[in-house]
Structure 1
Amino acid sequence: MINRCLVLLAALLLFGCARDAGQVVFHADDNPEKLSDWGLFTVAGGKILPHAGMVTYELNAPLFSDYAQKWRTVWMPKGVHATYRPDDAFDFPIGTIVTKTFYYTTPTEAAQPQASGDVVKMTPASYQSGVAGLTLDHVRLIETRLLVRRAAGWVALPYVWNADGTDATLERTGAEVPLTFHDGATARRFVYSVPNQNQCAGCHVQDFRARAVMPIGLKARHLDRAFAGEGGEINQLRRLVALGYLAGVGGTVPHNADWQDPHADDAAKARSYLDINCSHCHNATGAARTSGLWLDAKTVDPRVRGMCKPPVAAGRGTGDRPFDVVPGHPETSILAYRLQSDDPGEMMPELGRSLVHQEGVALILRYIKQLEGSCDRQDVPPPVAGS
């Protein structure tokens, strides 16, 4: 009897330790209904705070998601680390949890928005870094996406926040959140779409051969930048190494430009922007590989990058334009047309947005305008494999 009581007491103590406030809980098999069951955040006192071991990071260029701002973190169990890979996502250990929380700021007069049709503001630059959490005054939390590294591989789980911002619920089939977007002059109603799990895989499966879900942003070229956090405002790769989260960094580290850096040239910024927004599909092994248009940072062949390249099965998405990219002429370039469209049958990217990213479009227009050459037949680059 005494032994049974001791076993029960030990089990209760173990359960209590696993659920201590501030402790992340890795679920190796089950998918909890509530985000709070992962123990990632504390929501209290008007703030959402990260728990121990969660490292906030930022990208040189973010994926555009209808002007939603994003707070990104990565967490790993003690005693393990990711292995550096120069071009692909780092090799993360079992137990890794990557979070991406999508949120909007709200106008002062809408500090307590209603659940239906919340008013949100356009804030092109980061409003809050999230390094020490988010102050929820004038913030509307929308969703938190988890990428969880299990023994069988990565799994993507979308959690949608309630209107009070107290917890989020797993929505495998996605969700639609009606919002009113205000840019300071005009207001536009739109529906923010939370992707379902299949749509998550549609972007995160970047190699048709492996068909494995993988992180997109956790690559050296996207992370090679200074960002505030533990150790001050230092290079993020150096921070991860110092924290024991990353090993094997060596040689020349690939680098994408900060797409908002006023000192970087437009070509470098445009390549960075297209890389993060398009290359998970438009690469040699991605879902759009047969298009012959590859927009990852490594691709240097101008023809494969779209210069004077006729479209492949783009349908009405061409806008009756002859080539993917016409140097000096964004007004006749298919790439520009599809980025400027909000028609679901024409726009690119196909998922993750219903609004046009005006600042991103302006960058791509400048980039194409500055390209030299023409698409006269004698100037068209020779075709390459896959085009």
Structure 2
Amino acid sequence: MNPSAEYHLLELSSALFSNYAEKQRLVKLPTGEKMIYDGNGIPIFSNGTILVKTFYYFNDVRDTTLGKKVIETRLLIKSEGLWNVATYVWNDEQTDADLKLNGYDTQVSWTTLSGINRTIRYQVPNQNECISCHQLNSEVLPIGPKLRNLNIDVIRNNESINQLEHLQSLEILNDFDKSQVAKIPNYKSLNVTSVEKGRAYMEMNCAHCHSPSGWSRPARTGYDFRFETDISNTRILDNKDKIKEVLQSGEMPYLGTTVIDEEGVELVIEYINSL
């Protein structure tokens, strides 16, 4: 799916790990509607909004001109105040995608930046799995496009611009002072501390379930991995070994991955060991 006058690119400072897949994120708003500032979290979206996330792999990360393999496109569609989920899996010819509500497994092969040829089992989630993660207080909601996660500089028309200001210039985000919005650090950046990396990673990969308003099953464990939660209230300090164990074993994340995020786990362990 290519960006157009109706579909607009969104980029995140920190993103959910999904088996090393690349992702393209788009938003489409009804004509004349805007995303509305609602603090640091998810903006208010009007009915008719479509959020699109497409997962793909470059054939060779070292040379992206060699093409890519598109695996799936996930949609969140808002209607009558509720978000509905839909997942489409692309065919081998890369010409069309079919709706898959019951999940789907496939193999993906690519060459990494270090020249290693990898093949993994890629799991497309079923509808219930999508809903399990995409919920807050038992209501289906987007996860990634929080304003604080969109508050970064991006390249548009060959120039660097703050993404919130760019969305405002397109008249798809209402006017407000972007200094009101916090920022989630990029956990892959070399310019942030190990503490910021660790907390940002746990925010994007753990907190949608492990927070007081997340999926009821993990929420009952009492963890709170949201970035803004004070360390004393996260339960990290009392469960350092347990957290490291479930990450290193692949027990967590519970949904959404079939391989361990080796780099991500390493930075979380570095953070926990620093406490």
- C-alpha separation between the residues in 1 aligned to 2:274 and 2:28? 42
Conserved in 2, the CA contact under 8 Å of 1:56 and 1:229? Answer: no
- C-alpha separation between the residues in 1 aligned to 2:149 and 2:189? 14
- C-alpha separation between the residues in 2 aligned to 1:187 and 1:230? 34
- The aligned counterpart of 2:210 is 282
Match of 1:225 among 144, 152, 164: 152
- The aligned counterpart of 2:34 is 81
Q: How far off is 1:230 after superposition?
A: 5.3
Which structure: larger Rg? 1
- C-alpha separation between the residues in 2 aligned to 1:171 and 1:220? 30
- The aligned counterpart of 2:252 is 348
Q: How far off is 1:303 after superposition?
A: 4.4
SS of equivalent residue, structure 1 residue 141: strand
- C-alpha separation between the residues in 1 aligned to 2:160 and 2:95? 30
TM-score between both structures, scaled by the size of structure 2: 0.91
- The aligned counterpart of 2:6 is 53
User: By percentage of residues, which structure has more strand?
Assistant: 2
Q: How far off is 1:284 after superposition?
A: 1.4
Conserved in 2, the CA contact under 8 Å of 1:176 and 1:194? Answer: yes
1:360 aligned onto 2:264: yes
- The aligned counterpart of 2:18 is 65
What are structure 2's unaligned runs of at least 5 residues?
Answer: none
SS of equivalent residue, structure 2 residue 232: coil
- Paired residues for 1:1-387 under 5 Å: 41=1, 49-107=2-60, 137-180=66-109, 182-183=111-112, 184=114, 187-207=117-137, 211-229=138-156, 232-247=159-174, 249-250=176-177, 252-287=180-215, 288-308=218-238, 324-325=239-240, 333-342=241-250, 347-371=251-275
SS of equivalent residue, structure 2 residue 136: coil
- C-alpha separation between the residues in 1 aligned to 2:175 and 2:83? 22
Q: How far off is 1:263 after superposition?
A: 1.3
Computed over aligned residues only, the root mean square deviation of the Cα atoms, in angstroms, reads: 2.1
Q: Which amino acid aligns with 1:83?
A: I
Q: Which amino acid aligns with 1:341?
A: S
- C-alpha separation between the residues in 2 aligned to 1:230 and 1:202? 38
Conserved in 2, the CA contact under 8 Å of 1:339 and 1:349? Answer: yes
> Taking every aligned residue pair, what percent have the same amino acid on both sides?
34
SS of equivalent residue, structure 1 residue 104: strand
Q: How far off is 1:252 after superposition?
A: 2.5
What are structure 1's unaligned runs of at least 5 residues?
Answer: 1-40, 42-48, 108-120, 129-134, 309-323, 326-332, 372-387
Q: 1:283-321: CA deviations, max 9, x gaps? A: 11112221111101121042424112xxxxxxxxxxxxx
- C-alpha separation between the residues in 2 aligned to 1:104 and 1:348? 23
Q: How far off is 1:106 after superposition?
A: 1.1
- C-alpha separation between the residues in 1 aligned to 2:81 and 2:170? 26
Paired residues in the alignment total 271
- C-alpha separation between the residues in 2 aligned to 1:228 and 1:337? 39
- C-alpha separation between the residues in 1 aligned to 2:130 and 2:75? 10
SS of equivalent residue, structure 1 residue 99: strand
CA 1:270–1:57 in structure 2 vs 1: closer, same or farther (change >3 Å)? same
Q: How far off is 1:72 after superposition?
A: 0.6
SS of equivalent residue, structure 1 residue 274: helix
Q: How far off is 1:138 after superposition?
A: 2.1
Conserved in 2, the CA contact under 8 Å of 1:60 and 1:272? Answer: no
Conserved in 2, the CA contact under 8 Å of 1:205 and 1:286? Answer: yes
- C-alpha separation between the residues in 2 aligned to 1:139 and 1:187? 14
CA 1:180–1:341 in structure 2 vs 1: closer, same or farther (change >3 Å)? farther
Q: How far off is 1:179 after superposition?
A: 2.4
Q: How far off is 1:249 after superposition?
A: 3.2
Q: Which has the higher contact order (CA 8 A, sep 6+)?
A: 2
CA 1:77–1:232 in structure 2 vs 1: closer, same or farther (change >3 Å)? farther
Conserved in 2, the CA contact under 8 Å of 1:299 and 1:305? Answer: no
Q: How far off is 1:189 after superposition?
A: 3.9
Q: 1:34-74: CA deviations, max 9, x gaps? A: xxxxxxx4xxxxxxx32222111211111000000001111
CA 1:292–1:52 in structure 2 vs 1: closer, same or farther (change >3 Å)? same
Conserved in 2, the CA contact under 8 Å of 1:231 and 1:239? Answer: no
SS of equivalent residue, structure 1 residue 142: strand
Conserved in 2, the CA contact under 8 Å of 1:57 and 1:227? Answer: no
